[in-house]
A and B are shown apart, each in its own frame.
Chain A
């Protein structure tokens, strides 16, 4: 039986009827059309489905939509401001941290969550923060550089 849930996604309120066996990632992608959140392994290993739920990055493939009822969600679509790309996204572009782009939404959200908690992380802290997000293209170095670059610009 469907249940009514309330979600606040990227500062917009939604009321949705969902089946208990629908995951958050499926509701974001297929019900709300927010396809920036990717589906990779679907078992919590790859991090491509990362979203920020109540301020914390989580694998949205492991969260039931009903579990997210009443919670605040940020997806990659909520990172960009009206004024353009978020500084973190600019750094990703500038440093060549995007290749195929599949891991990028998750990487950006994990990085953003890190910088919110710790505006001046060291390299080890950056690598730990993105350690649940797999990238098969860049070898991570450019992603680490991009996060470091953004941190420097934002704390200058």
Chain B
């Protein structure tokens, strides 16, 4: 399979990258890990006139923990995210999502930025990141803006990033005591699987045996974009965790989902699995929250 011809740029700094992206205009694509973009170019789905490779930019591979925030360089690969101790210990659902993506070979190339900008409805990074309330930093030569991931996705393959912008960083809040998240991916095999359904859940408790103060449930592969489940979340607020409560939230989340029939599974099956996976992800989140004393 031959790749179409293109011009190639390899900026060494973010400033240079923004400049190049701004100068080259519409027919340009940023190249991160390449595990989606190169495949789409080989299949002739995309044929950008120019590629700007971001993999040499050191600023995009840093993590920074200060001022109550945790910032993750969007150029980090899925393997790097999965193995990072700080992420494993504090954002276990994110680490889990990173370790479910593609295969070990893909994880050594694929980046967070690429996974988000590709905007596949079944992608592994969006649900855990949205559960943690992530924002993304979009930079261009004319400045930067910070956008909530909740608003970032517009449809399959569509986001609100402008052609000249680069997704440089993910911003999370430091976890408060007694808060935590869980992530569960359902597929028919273990590797190189596109989720049938994936669910991430986040809860923040009022103390080890307290009521639920904040809850976020994010459903993947059951809508054109990763979806929050508002009625599922609402069912949890102010309540003490119990099996009956999680069942109620699971049912409500299934009602919030908008699955379709396709060759991977039926809408009916997916809706039923949203119910089950929401309960399980919430259970993981509650256990994580109880053991997170920070």
Report the bound CA distance from A23 to B109 in whole Å: 14
Check A27 for interface membership: any CB of B closer than 8 A. no
Q: Is B118 part of the contact surface with A, judged by Cβ < 8 Å? A: no
Q: Among A3, A42, A110, point to the contact of B105 (Cβ < 8 A).
A: A110
A-B CB contacts (within 8 Å), total count: 84
- The answer to the question of B103 belonging to the interface, with a C-beta cut-off of 8 Å to chain A, is yes
Complex: chain A residue closest to B99, CB-CB: A128
Q: Does B53 contact A (CB under 8 A)?
A: yes
List 25 A-B residue pairs with CB atoms under 8 Å apart, sorted by A's residue number. A19-B5, A20-B7, A20-B8, A20-B51, A22-B3, A42-B42, A43-B1, A43-B39, A53-B108, A56-B108, A57-B105, A57-B108, A59-B109, A62-B33, A62-B34, A62-B109, A63-B109, A64-B34, A66-B8, A67-B53, A110-B104, A128-B190, A131-B192, A132-B106, A132-B191
A-side contacts of B191, CB under 8 Å: 128, 131-132
Shortest CB-to-CB span from B177 to chain A, Å, is 33
Q: Are B8 and A59 in contact (CB under 8 A)?
A: no
* Cβ-closest chain B residue relative to A128: B104
B103 with A132: CB separation less than 8 A: yes
B10 at the interface (CB under 8 A from A): yes
Query: What's the least CB distance linking A57 to chain B, in Å?
Result: 6
Residue of chain B at shortest CB distance from A69: B10
CB neighbors of A among B1-33 (8 A): 1-8, 10, 31, 33
Which residue of A3, A47, A62 is within 8 Å of B38 (Cβ)?
Answer: A62
Confirm or deny: A58 has a beta carbon within 8 angstroms of a beta carbon on chain B: yes
The answer to the question of B35 belonging to the interface, with a C-beta cut-off of 8 Å to chain A, is: yes
| A residues contacting the other copy or chain, number (CB 8 A) | 28
| A58 contacts B108, C-beta separation under 8 Å | yes
Residue contact A67 to B55, C-beta cutoff 8 Å:
yes
B contacts with A: majority SS = loop
Residues on A facing B (Cβ under 8 Å): 3, 19-23, 42-45, 47, 50, 53, 56-59, 62-64, 66-67, 110, 128-129, 131-133
Q: Is the CB of A21 within 8 A of B2?
A: yes
Chain A residues within 8 Å of B190, by CB? 128, 131
Number of chain B residues close to chain A: CB under 8 A: 31
Separation of A58 and B107 alpha carbons in the complex (Å): 8
**Does B75 sit at the interface, judged by CB under 8 A?**
no
CB of B3 within 8 A of CB of A21, answer: yes
Q: A64-B38, A67-B34 are in contact. Are A59 and B106 (CB under 8 A)?
A: yes
The complex places the Cα of A85 from the Cα of B55 at a distance, in Å, of 35
CB contact under 8 A between A44 and B10, given known A58-B109, A67-B53, A132-B102: no
Residue of B nearest to A56 (CB): B108
